[in-house]
């Protein structure tokens, strides 16, 4: 084994589930062995009778490039000097039933452009990173008390060329990244970029976990994209799919004729709703494979974090099962997937060991406790969780005619009952604007003006509600059509006044958020928020305060979810003095009716809303307004005027 440069210890760790750099051994690697330059191939195929490498060099047939079984647990390896960089290849596997399979390399670093399905022998990377300043600054910041404003992107449909072809990673670096920076987002979240055969799976059904999709260019091209993001102080998060994989014949399914990557029990393996297969989280080799993959994206591509897809589907054995499907239970009689729970904890512990400042975000839609708590206190070990409850409640509420909202007032207030139980991200993601769900704008009731006003109100409430933020691309344009996953965004909408103004609104709202520490410093602490009035359901108005670390850093927020202007509306305030309106979504510049107020609001020393004083306000229709108490010196100047 020494002549192939493979460590016995590394293979031992692989079979123990603790080889977290397994991609450095497995797959296709260019090496110089015994003075000869060539490619070494290593693959795990425990049920195989024979494995060889096939490609253009042997007309995709034959056994003249054989691999040799190098241990009893099914690892095969070989070294060939006649294969060159850029050569397409697959593994020809003879199963225990003497069937022949052609499989892409599970650890391939490069793949052919779809619809071709072969792996490609990689050329060594020549990319020189220049993001040391970003990484140094990232290590100094705590994500919990910093602004985190995510722009979720599907690279294939954000923008396309006039002839319909895709922009490359390098072209997107020159167009998408400056746009995101200008709009005020702090991070880009990319729908999965691991190699996948079908465009309309959006990357969620993967065949090449270590292969950045060739649709947009080479691995070094993607490195350039990430590097450019970091030069613009934009973090990069990638959707990561450890829960299931697609059934395409060249992929992981029955890799060597038997269940290698999936559960042997078909009831646990099959995801009938998605037509996919579940990884066997209890297998040590699968743990090495998947956890290595998470480490790989962060180490090799400087990814700042992973949004882990479909965590609820991993946690529960019977999640999303169809009627009539046989239910299964764990050894204790419960429906929890004990292997998946242990895997997720091991995943997060390992990622934070290698990348202490990583973002590990769970898309988890149930009430599972302690998702974003450390494993040593019984948590799953993520540091953020998507707040699907807030998203569902808010969209249900906003789709109602305002006349009915007072009977459903709790939908906009209930989230504060649990807002600090996890480190939440408030998502308005791609899942909410596809499959007939309609765009965010088109969910809003009323005439066109009311629809736009309510969209601004929704975004404003999201921005001022505790939790980090995420918006899917196109939401900033006020698209009427839901996301079209084969076409680019409706950029022509910016030629129309209301769409142009909502685009401006999103930009100014984003920058307002970045400037106001009260909106992010205590996102995950109860003392950073308190209600002024959560119970004015008759008028569908809520008012609350957000607080930063500085005791004087407080913002008063008022939201009106009806199209009625309220005059002389009293709002209790925590401190006496002079309050001034600093943001108003009803501004004419944003497409609103212009019910704004530039005049100072002086407190009246009378008990109201549980406070010792109040201010009297004009509340604009279907709008959010934000007020700040002026410092003493500015108050005196306002009184003199």
Tell me whether the omega of the peptide bond preceding residue 212 falls within 30 degrees of 0, making it cis.
no
154 and 287 both lie in a single domain:
yes
Which of these is catalytic: 195, 256, 304, 309?
309
Is the same domain home to 240 and 370? Answer: yes
Same domain, 64 and 193: no
What is the per-residue pLDDT for 2?
A: 56
pLDDT of amino acid 320: 85
CATH of the domain at 79: 2.60.40.10
Residues 80 and 162 in one domain: no
- Residue 474 · residue 433 · CB < 8 Å: yes
DSSP string, 181-232: HHHT-SEEEEPP-EE-S-GGGTT-S-SEEEEE-GGG--HHHHHHHHHHHHHT
Let me know whether 110 and 229 are in one domain: no
Considering the domain architecture, whether residues 266 and 319 belong to the same structural domain is answered as yes
Count of domains for the chain: 3
Statement to judge: residues 307 and 375 lie in one domain: yes
Q: Is 309 a catalytic residue?
A: yes
SS (H, E, C) 297-341: HHHHHCCCEEEECCHHHHHECCCCCCCCCCCCCCCCCCCECHHHH
pLDDT at position 1, please? 46
Q: Per the domain annotation, does 411 fall within a domain? A: no
Two tokens, residue 412: 């906009």
Q: Identify whether 469 is part of a domain.
A: no
**Residue 566 located in a structural domain:** yes
The predicted-structure confidence for 554-612, as pLDDT tens digits, reads as follows 999 999 999 999 999 999 999 999 999 999 999 999 999 999 999 999 999 999 999 99
For residue 588, the model assigns a pLDDT of: 98
Long-range contacts of 563-568 (CB under 8 A, 24+ apart): 563/402, 563/446, 563/450, 563/453, 563/621, 563/622, 564/539, 564/621, 565/595, 565/618, 565/619, 565/620, 565/621, 566/539, 566/541, 566/617, 566/618, 566/619, 567/618, 567/619, 568/616, 568/617, 568/618
Domain assignment of residue 519, yes or no = no
Task: Output the pLDDT for position 632.
Answer: 77
518 lies in a domain?
no
**Which residue from 119, 94, 93, 118 is spatially nearest to 28, judged by alpha carbons?**
119
Q: Is residue 154 a part of any domain in this protein?
A: yes
The three-state secondary structure class of 454 is helix
Query: Is 446 part of any domain?
Result: no
- 296 by DSSP, 3-state: which? helix
Residues 370 and 282 in one domain: yes
Which of 105, 120, 135 is the C-terminal boundary of a domain? 120
Please tell me the number of Cα atoms within 13 Å of 491 on its side-chain side: 9
Q: 221 and 80 in one domain?
A: no
**CATH number for the domain including 337?**
3.20.20.80
Mark whether 340 and 209 lie in a shared domain: yes
Which of 386, 415, 431 is at the close of a domain?
386
Is 325 catalytic? The answer is no
Low-confidence ranges of the chain (pLDDT < 70): 1-3, 633-641
Query: Which among 103, 120, 137 is the end of a domain?
Result: 120
pTM of the predicted structure, to 2 decimals? 0.96
265: left (phi over 0), alpha (psi -120 to 50) or beta: beta
- Is the CB of residue 372 less than 8 Å from the CB of residue 422? yes
What pLDDT, on the 0 to 100 scale, is given for residue 323?
81
Question: pLDDT at position 163, please?
Answer: 92
Examine the domain organization and report whether 95 and 169 are in the same domain.
Answer: no
Reported as a single tens digit per residue, the pLDDT across 420-462 is 999 999 999 999 999 999 999 999 999 999 999 999 999 999 9
Q: Quote the pLDDT of residue 640.
A: 55
Range of the domain at 256: 148-175+186-386
Query: Is residue 450 domain-resident?
Result: no
Judge whether 47 and 260 are in contact, CB under 8 Å.
Answer: yes
Pair (50, 169) in one structural domain: no
The catalytically annotated residue of 262, 270, 339, 363 is: 363
């Amino acid at each position: 084994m020494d002549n192939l440069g493979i460590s016995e210890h590394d293979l031992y760790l692989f079979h123990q589930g603790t080889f977290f750099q397994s991609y450095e051994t497995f797959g296709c690697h260019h090496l110089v062995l015994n003075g000869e330059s060539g490619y070494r191939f290593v693959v795990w195929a425990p049920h195989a009778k024979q494995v060889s490498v096939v490609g253009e060099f042997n007309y995709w047939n034959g056994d003249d490039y054989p691999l040799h079984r190098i241990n009893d647990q099914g690892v095969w390896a070989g070294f060939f000097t006649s294969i060159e960089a850029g050569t397409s290849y697959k593994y020809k596997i003879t199963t225990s039933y003497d069937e022949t399979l052609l499989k892409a390399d599970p650890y391939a670093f490069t793949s052919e452009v779809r619809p071709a399905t072969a792996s490609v022998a990689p050329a060594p990377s020549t990319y020189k990173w220049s993001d040391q300043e970003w990484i140094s600054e990232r290590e100094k910041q705590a994500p919990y008390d910093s602004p985190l404003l995510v722009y979720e992107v599907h690279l294939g449909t954000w923008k396309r060329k006039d002839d319909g072809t895709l922009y490359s990673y390098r072209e997107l670096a020159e167009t998408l990244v400056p746009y995101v920076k200008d709009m005020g987002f702090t991070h880009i979240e990319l729908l999965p970029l691991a190699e996948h055969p079908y465009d309309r799976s959006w990357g969620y059904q993967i065949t090449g976990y270590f292969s950045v999709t060739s649709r947009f260019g080479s691995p070094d091209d993607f490195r350039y994209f990430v590097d450019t993001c970091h030069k613009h102080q934009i973090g990069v998060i990638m959707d990561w799919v450890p829960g299931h994989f697609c059934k395409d014949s060249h992929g992981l399914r029955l890799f060597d004729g038997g269940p290698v990557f999936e559960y042997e029990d078909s009831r646990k393996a099959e995801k009938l709703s998605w037509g996919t297969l579940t990884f066997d989280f209890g297998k040590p080799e699968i743990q090495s494979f998947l956890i290595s993959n998470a480490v790989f994206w962060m180490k090799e591509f400087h990814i700042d974090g992973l949004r882990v897809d479909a965590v609820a589907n991993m946690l529960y054995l019977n999640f999303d099962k169809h009627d009539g499907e046989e239910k299964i239970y764990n050894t204790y009689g419960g429906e929890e997937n004990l292997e998946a729970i242990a895997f997720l904890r091991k995943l997060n512990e390992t990622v934070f060991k290698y990348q202490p400042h990583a973002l590990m975000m769970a898309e988890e839609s149930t009430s599972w406790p302690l998702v974003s708590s450390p494993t040593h206190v019984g948590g799953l070990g993520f540091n953020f969780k998507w707040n699907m409850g807030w998203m569902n409640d808010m969209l249900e509420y906003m789709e109602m005619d305002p006349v009915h909202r007072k009977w459903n007032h709790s939908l906009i207030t209930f989230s504060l009952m649990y807002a600090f139980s996890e480190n939440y991200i408030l998502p308005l993601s791609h899942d909410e604007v596809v499959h007939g769900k309609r765009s965010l704008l088109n969910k809003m009731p009323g005439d066109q003006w009311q629809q736009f006003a309510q969209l601004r109100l929704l975004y404003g409430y999201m921005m001022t509600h505790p939790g980090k933020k995420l918006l899917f691309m196109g939401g900033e344009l006020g698209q009427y059509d839901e996301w079209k996953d084969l076409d680019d965004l409706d950029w022509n909408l910016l030629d129309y006044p209301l769409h142009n103004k909502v685009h401006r609104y999103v930009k100014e709202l984003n920058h307002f958020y970045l400037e106001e520490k009260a909106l992010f410093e205590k996102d995950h602490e109860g003392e950073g928020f308190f209600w002024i009035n959560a119970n004015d359901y008759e008028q569908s108005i809520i008012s609350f305060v957000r607080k930063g670390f500085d005791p004087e850093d407080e913002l008063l927020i008022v939201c009106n979810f009806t199209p009625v202007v309220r005059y002389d509306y009293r709002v209790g305030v925590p401190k006496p003095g002079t309050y001034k309106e600093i943001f108003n979504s009803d501004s004419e510049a944003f497409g609103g009716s212009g019910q704004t107020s530039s005049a100072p609001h002086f407190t009246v020393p009378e008990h109201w809303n549980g406070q010792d004083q109040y201010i009297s306000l004009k509340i604009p229709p279907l709008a959010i307004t934000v007020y700040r108490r002026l410092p003493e010196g500015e108050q005196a100047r306002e009184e003199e005027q």
